[in-house]
Structure 1
Amino acid sequence: MIKFIKNFRKDEDGAVTVDWVVLTAAVVGLGVAAYAAIEGETTQLSADIAATIESENVAAVAPAAGVSGGD
């Protein structure tokens, strides 16, 4: 039993797995933090773009004459 405990303490196979789990958790955490940081601003930007597009007068942008139907 003592030999088993000594071998168990020396065995480092699981240490690499723990390192990868911690590293993966850190990367996921950074991704969530980045998403949280830009999510509000992108929502506001898309609302601003939608408002600008809706407020544009198409007749003022298109030429008065010579507009064809896409032939």
Structure 2
Amino acid sequence: MKLLNIFKNFKNDESGAVTVDWVVLTAAVVGLGLIVMNQITPAIDAAGAQITTDLQNATALGRQP
């Protein structure tokens, strides 16, 4: 009978439910961040390459060498 009460108390205990909710929510936010990062990385790389090209072709104070 005592063992049955232990199982009933364990089944009815909800003290860890909030922790599970936060873990799931955090995993969803991290997953969404990875998806967004994966989508914008090519545009950021292209912008960086264009900036590099512009800086390499720039002349000091607009003067021609």
Q: Same fold (TM over 0.5)?
A: yes
Q: Deviations over 1:7-30 (max 9, x none)?
A: 111100111111010001011111
Distance 1:58 1:24 in 2: 49
Alignment partner for residue 20 of structure 1, among 18, 22, 25?
22
Task: Identify the residue that residue 45 of structure 2 maps to in structure 1.
Answer: 43
Task: Identify the residue that residue 6 of structure 1 maps to in structure 2.
Answer: 8
Distance 1:53 1:32 in 2: 31
**Richer in helix (by share):** 2
Paired positions, count? 61
Structure 1 moving runs of 4+ over 6 Å: none
With the length of structure 2 as denominator, give the TM-score of the two structures.
Answer: 0.81
- The CA RMSD measured in Å over matched residues stands at 1.4
Alignment partner for residue 35 of structure 2, among 16, 33, 38?
33
Larger radius of gyration: 1
With the length of structure 1 as denominator, give the TM-score of the two structures.
Answer: 0.75
Q: Which runs of 5+ in 1 are unaligned?
A: 63-71
